[in-house]
Amino acid sequence: MRLVKSLTAHLLAVSLVASPFVSQAQQQHFLSQTTSPVSIPADAATAALPGTLADTLYTLPDTVGNEELTIITLPADTVYPGQKSPFTESQLREGSNKRFLLRAVLPAAALIGAGIYTIQGNGFYSSHDLRDARHKHTPNFSTKVDDYLFFLPVAYMYGFNAFSSQNRHDIRRQTGLLLASGVLTSALVWPTKKLTNIDRPNGENHAFPSGHTAYAFTIATIVDKEFRHKSPWISVGSYTIAGATGALRVLNNKHWMADVLAGAGVGVLSVNTVYWLHDKIFRNKGLNTAVMPTVLPNGSPGMGLTVRF
């Protein structure tokens, strides 16, 4: 009996949290089914709008009492007068094969290639050379900051979600893209560690590539893609934190320079691949879902999931 009461209380709490998302999804579906394009006169009101925005205006008939009203709705990506453009040209072409090659594959290949070129004692300035410099100048350096630092961009990404009016994706889709990118990064990092089986400078195993650095650049690239249009300094800050994570791994004697370079390339490649596939598969598509408490046929409390395609 106590279990049933506890479960019921939790279900009620979930319903309170989920109700805004449910109503939002229902409202979006209702608007998409009932709105119709109309011709808007080029008067003073519409003249203040940019470009040919009048062609994209919609009206939704409504009534209050006996009075008929007209509610004008605009597409979600509308740029209002005085508002900074919420999307860059590169963001609008996320699914372009050419852009994916130039902005993702080539930079990632350069980083990973640099890591392979400088592995151990190879290259014009090898990982061993940097290790020797570290031992000479900072032999006793040690910190745990690199174990937590790369999570900082995630914190301020969700903070921007709470206070920003120019999010690229809503928080649920951002989270999905973040998780998918993390999964792809893991799928590339951990088998490669096992396959290469290179010892770390401190004697531990599985050095190449650096997992911390890979995840740091995964998170930084996600933040860059979601908020680059808001301010380029957000991207600069995110990549600075990611770079600092990699540098601290070397200073802590936990990784070679080659591990850090390759890890950065893996993180950049993973996120860009996920966004490229997302744009190709899910652009202008989506699922409206709702989760709410319900009563099962046997009278027990349960959860109901509705999905509208």
Per-residue pLDDT of the chain (309 residues; tens, 9 = 90+): 454 445 444 444 444 444 444 344 444 443 444 444 444 443 444 444 444 444 444 444 544 455 554 445 555 455 544 444 555 565 667 778 888 898 899 999 999 999 999 998 999 999 999 999 999 999 999 999 998 898 888 887 888 777 765 667 778 888 899 999 999 999 999 999 999 999 999 989 999 999 999 999 999 999 998 888 788 888 999 999 999 999 999 999 999 999 999 999 999 999 999 999 988 887 655 444 444 556 556 666 665 555 443
R_g of the chain, CA atoms, integer Å: 25
Q: In the prediction, which pLDDT does 162 show?
A: 74
Kindly list the strands in the beta sheet with 67-73, ordered across the sheet, starting from the edge strand earlier in the chain. Answer: 36-37, 58-64, 67-73
Output the furthest CA–CA distance in the chain (Å, rounded).
84
DSSP, collapsed to helix, strand or coil, labels residue 62 as strand
DSSP, collapsed to helix, strand or coil, labels residue 41 as coil
Cβ contacts of 211 within 8 Å, gap of 6 or more:
189, 190, 193, 263
> What's the token pair of residue 222?
């996600």
Q: In the prediction, which pLDDT does 259 show?
A: 97
Whole-angstrom Cα distance, residue 49 to residue 43?
Answer: 10
> What's the token pair of residue 271?
């996120």
Say if residue 11 is exposed, middle or buried (CB neighbours under 10 Å; 0-12, 13-18, 19+).
Answer: middle
The answer to whether 121 and 108 have CB atoms below 8 angstroms apart is no
Q: In the prediction, which pLDDT does 294 show?
A: 61
Neighbouring-strand partners of residue 72: 59
CA 242 to chain centre: 15
Whole-angstrom Cα distance, residue 268 to residue 225?
Answer: 11
> What's the token pair of residue 176?
């999905």
The answer to whether 218 and 154 have CB atoms below 8 angstroms apart is no
Rounded to 10 deg, the angle between the 257-282 and 232-251 helix axes is 140
Helices (H) and strands (E) in the chain, counts: 11, 5
Q: Where do the domains of the chain lie, and which CATH numbers do they carry?
A: 2-82+293-308 (no CATH), 89-282 (1.20.144)
Q: In the prediction, which pLDDT does 301 show?
A: 60
Whole-angstrom Cα distance, residue 186 to residue 181?
Answer: 9
